Amino acid sequence: MSNIDTTPVLKTEHLGITFGGLKAVEDFNISIAPNELVGLIGPNGAGKTTVFNLLTGVYQPTEGRIELDGQEMKDKKPHQMAKAGIARTFQNIRLFKNLTVLGNVKVAFNQNMKYGIFQAILRTGGYWREEEEIDQKARELLSVFNMQDAADKIACNLPYGQQRKLEIARALATNPKILLLDEPAAGMNPTETAELMEAIRIIRDKFNIAILLIEHDMSLVMSICERIVVIDYGMIIAKGTPKEVANNPKVIGAYLGE
Amino acid sequence: MKNKKEIIKSYLINFIAIALMFVILMIATDAGLINRYVRGILMTIFINIILAISLNLTTGFLGQIALGHAGFMSIGAYSAALFVKYAQDTMGITLLQENGLTSAGLGFFLLSLLIGGGIAAVFGLIVGIPALRLKGDYLAIITLGFGEIIRSLIEYFPFTGGAQGLKKIPKLASSLNVVYIIMIVCVVIMFAFVRSRHGRAITAIREDDIASEASGIPNTHYKVMAFTIAAFFAGVAGGIYAQYLGVLGASSFGFMKSIDILVMVVLGGMGSLTGSILSAVGLTALPEMLRSFSDYRMLIYSVVLIIVMIFKPSGLLGTYEFSLTRLIDRIVHPGKHKKASTMKKEGAEIE
Amino acid sequence: MELFIKQVITGIQVGSVYALVALGYTMVYGIVKLINFAHGDFIMVGGYMAVFSIPLLMNAGLPAWLCILAAVAVCTIIGIATEKIAYKPLRGAPSLSVLITAIAMSLFLENLALILFSSSPRPVNNIFNMPPVTIGNIQFSGVTVITIVFSVIIMIGLQIFIKSTRMGKAMRAVSEDGQAAILMGISTNRTISLTFAIGSGLAGVAAVMYCSAYPQVQPYMGSMLGLKAFIAAVLGGIGNIPGAMLGGIIIGLVESMTKGYISTQLADAVVFGILILVLLVKPTGILGKNVGEKV
């Protein structure tokens, strides 16, 4: 559970972005404690994915600031955000389709590897050591998702549910402090969804990370998130425990369309 | 990752195959089986292999089409040629004697290739940093533009011999064996590079550049790296070409030459180094063997290209790598690999 | 001063031809996002049509400029055929494959011409018998005037066609969003064919204009011409019709000024230099609009 005394792992202050006069996200304030599981919900087009894009450096905010572990993240590109400890998945799965499952995960280990071009060409001890190490780590990571047997399959040949899981595994391979999941259950059937939600909880505990989750399905978010942030038209309209949020008239209005 | 024993075994098999070919080449040379004509074809094959595998790095592995490869080749060719010319004419070093290279000649030859490759790489870097902000069609056009600019400048400046071309370049690329070894070294380096974390990062960019960046891959850095390395090897190939022919003209490094190399990469398989090697051999040797066919060469190329693009857009081998170890394994233990072979279809090598 | 004016006039004349060719690139790119590398070679085809049809027309006692009909007809047919045979099967394929196919198509036309007509250049008979026009003490050739006037008329006509006719609107719709256009009952295939037809027809006109200024035809004449016209299209803003005209004239002027004042050899390098500059500073061109990628 969240603890008020610790530094938040992720904190934004007045975060906002304007696209040609249109304020897509405005005055977005959020503070996520280490190991917290937070849901970000809102109607279609409310700006949820835009928030993710801001947090991962895909867009540069026009206002406000982002802090990761108390450090300000300014003018950071997506790969720098990933290195700093923010990992993400995508709404429409983005895998390296023609690489193997194992290869997909290995790519994400790249930023924590050290051997250079010449060491690679000369196949020095460092090359072998690191490659062996990540091979093992990648397989371990896959086994968390029960996918160790699929390691040598080509990613695009996986069933849909496993593709989603692989994307999460890949994100975890970057060794994040916080994981952003963009509609991880989209397109899944109820059984798969329930399985995934269980997996998310396990990941949070096993890897000891915070998770921010976008989800459409209210009931699902309610069941696993400790705290929920609701946005509409780019602004936060409610925050609180699932119960508080569910009874908030603004939220009900946003979803039912007043 | 495969276990150590298997890796050592496969290295050994490949090494033996390479050495065997070298011995055959040497025996054939000694026995006088290789006349000037055959020598010319083999030399062109070796040069084209280096060109094709280097372009494959940008076009196949990185997935960005570059139409200025001949430009980098020409920079390497002229740099290496001017360097050895300077060594011979101005410094007065004896590089060649009647029966071939002097030891100084060999040293200068290798040095000239490094210089040619190095300068081409510098140009690759200069061109790559701005150009790689673009992708797809625009990158293709901008690289084409750079290639044409390089060609025009070579024709314009007097020190490159201008439009008349550069003549009397010491023919240091006289030994097939030496060029063979250089080619093998280039191929081995390329394989080692592609099958490392760097190669993996480059392939990831091809597959999905947004996801690769989100997975912590600095896309620009790796794109420029791929481009620069490709330019380096194009420069090396150019250096050999210059010192094999002994004369250079800027017009031989035009757009058409870049297309020639691209055809090899595309047909062989974008993302398959062995594919590039096979198509470089095939597309160099075939037109030579069928002399009457040479008028129709480009016409047939173009039709084949269109057909391949329609029916097998990733090229004949795709990203599949031919493996000698696997082949031998399959001959020795028939049946054992049936299942593995279907699973290993594509990309399995770059895990 | 005289050199300057002479270069300006040459520049505008060549630029008008570039503009006509650039229109073909821009329309096709706007609608199928394809750099039709073969477009430059349509000019070459048009050129050969002029070479072969002029003697026939003369024998029949008809004026030589009617060769424009032959050029336009054949170019249109080749344009539509190219699209149907090579490009259509690849609709929706990765841009790399499409680009390679376009390059291959260009190679195909060039090498076919090489085999059919040999590499030696063929002279083109005088197409327009026009007296030179004199304004003040400056003399233009009649061809120059015709080329410029023709291009402007075509440009305006095309603009009107695109903006106000049914087919023109369909073309714009397909270029904005092909899927949505289908849902609106627009036949994408027909619209794309029409675009290719108009674009290649214009290449036929451009071919005749070009040949009346530089009366020589050879198999590779289209490749450099095509590239420069493409640069003009990019410079003006790809997908934009007035942009193509603007880009064409600018490229024509720059080229002719470089030839006049710096060096003939460097003209190509300068033109490509401009392309690179434009792509780096404003990849959407002078009149183009920005489009981002969705994450």
pLDDT of residue B345: 38
Residue of C nearest to A20 (CA): C290
C62 touches chain B (CB under 8 A): no
- What pLDDT is attached to residue B1? 54
Q: Which CATH superfamily is A10-85+176-256 part of? A: P-loop containing nucleotide triphosphate hydrolases (3.40.50.300)
pLDDT of residue A5: 55
Contacts of B299 in chain C (CB under 8 A): 107-108, 111-112, 114-115
pLDDT digit string, tens, across residues B286-335: 877 776 667 787 888 889 889 988 888 888 888 888 888 888 888 887 76
Residue A21, CA distances (Å) to A12, A18, B210, C64, C168 in order: 22, 6, 26, 58, 31
Using the predicted structure, report yes or no on whether residue A233 has a pLDDT greater than 50: yes
B342 pLDDT above the threshold of 80? no
Task: Return the half-sphere exposure (C-beta side, CA atoms, 13 A cut-off) of residue A127.
Answer: 15
Helices (H), chain C: 2-32, 39-59, 67-82, 95-117, 142-164, 166-176, 178-183, 188-213, 221-236, 241-257, 267-281
Position A190 pLDDT exceeds 70: yes
Q: Which of B189, B217, B351 is closest, CB to CB, to A121?
A: B189
pLDDT(A215) > 90: no
Answer whether B298 sits within 8 Å of C111, measured CB to CB: yes
C-chain residue closest to A57, CA distance: C295
Rg (CA), chain C: 19
Q: Count CB-CB contacts under 10 A for residue A142.
A: 22
The predicted pLDDT at position C145 comes to 85
Into how many domains does chain B fold? 1
Distance CA(C124)–CA(B3), nearest Å, equals 71
B214 contacts on A by Cβ (under 8 Å): 56, 58, 78-79, 82, 87-88, 90, 94, 171
Identify whether B101 is part of a domain. yes
Sorting pLDDT into bands at 50, 70 and 90, what band is C180?
A: confident
Residues present in chain C in total: 295
So what's the ipTM on this one? 0.91
Q: Which residue has the higher pLDDT, B201 or B288?
A: B201
Residue C291 has pLDDT above 70, yes or no: no
Question: In this structure, what CATH number is given to the domain that contains residue B247?
Answer: 1.10.3470
pLDDT level of residue C185 (50, 70, 90 thresholds): confident
Is B222 a member of any domain?
yes
Would you state the pLDDT for residue B339? Answer: 45
Least confident of A94-108, B16-30, B103-117, C121-135: C121-135
The Cα–Cα gap between C295 and A103 comes to: 23
Q: Is the pLDDT of residue A138 over 90?
A: yes
pLDDT of residue C294: 52
Residue C288 has pLDDT above 80, yes or no: no
Average pLDDT, integer, range A122-141: 93
Task: Flag whether residue A52 sits within 8 Å of chain B, measured between CB atoms.
Answer: no
Residue from the list A58, A88, A102 with its beta carbon closest to the beta carbon of B351: A102
A192-201, A229-238, B128-137 — most confident range: A229-238
List the domain range (segments joined by +) for residue B96: 34-320
| C295 contact residues in A (CB cutoff 8 A) | 49, 53, 58, 90
Q: Where does the pLDDT of residue C5 fall: very low under 50, low under 70, confident under 90, or very high at 90 and above? A: confident
Instruction: Considering only residues C278 and B84, tell me which one the structure prediction assigns the higher pLDDT.
Output: B84
Q: What is the pLDDT of residue C290?
A: 56
Q: What is the pLDDT of residues A76-118, one digit of tens each?
A: 999 999 999 999 999 999 999 999 999 999 999 999 999 999 9
Which two tokens mark C187?
Answer: 């036949």
Band (pLDDT 50/70/90 cuts) for residue A33 is very high
Tell me which residue has tokens 């603009």: C159
Nearest CA in chain B to A88: B214
pLDDT at B2: 61
Residue B334 located in a structural domain = no
Q: Assess if residue B93 is contained within a domain.
A: yes
The token pair that represents B234 in the structure block: 């194009």
B312 interfaces chain C, CB cutoff of 8 Å: no
Instruction: Calculate mean pLDDT across residues B41-56.
Output: 96
Question: For residue range B80-128, what is the model confidence (pLDDT) as tens digits?
Answer: 999 999 998 888 888 888 777 888 889 999 999 999 999 999 999 998 8
Contacts of residue A58 in chain C, CB cutoff 8 Å? Answer: 295
What stretch of H or E contains A224?
helix A218-224
A110–B197: do the CB atoms touch at under 8 Å? yes
Residue C7: predicted pLDDT: 87
Compare B263 and C93 and report the one with higher pLDDT.
B263
CB pairs under 8 A between A and C: 4
- pLDDT of B139 higher than 80: yes
Say if residue A156's pLDDT is above 80. yes
How much of chain C, in percent, has pLDDT values that exceed 90? 38
The CATH number of domain C2-125+144-281, selected from 1.25.10, 2.130.10, 1.20.120, 1.10.3470: 1.10.3470
Interface with chain B: mutation pick from C258, C276, C277, C281, highest number of B CBs within 10 Å: C276
Residues in chain C with CB shorter than 8 Å from the CB of A54 are none
Task: Retrieve residue C22's tokens.
Answer: 């650039």
Tokens 């200069």, residue located: B126
**What is the structure's pLDDT at C79?**
95
Question: Residue B349: pLDDT above 80?
Answer: no
User: What predicted TM-score, i.e. pTM, was given to this entire model?
Assistant: 0.89
Contact C279 B313 (CB under 8 A): no
pLDDT at A28: 93
A154 touches chain C (CB under 8 A): no
Choose the closest CB to A83 out of B1, B216, B319.
B216
Task: Check pLDDT > 60 for residue C201.
Answer: yes
Instruction: Identify the band that residue C130 occupies on the pLDDT scale cut at 50, 70 and 90.
Output: confident
Give the start-to-end residue ranges of the domains of chain A: 10-85+176-256
Q: Tell me how far apart the alpha carbons of residues C249 and C244 are, in angstroms, rounded to a whole number.
A: 9
Q: Average of pLDDT values for B53-59?
A: 96
| pLDDT over 90 (residue A223) | no
User: Which chains form contacts with chain C, at 3 or more CB pairs under 8 Å?
Assistant: A, B
> Which range among A193-207, B67-81, B185-199, C125-139 shows the weakest confidence by mean pLDDT?
C125-139
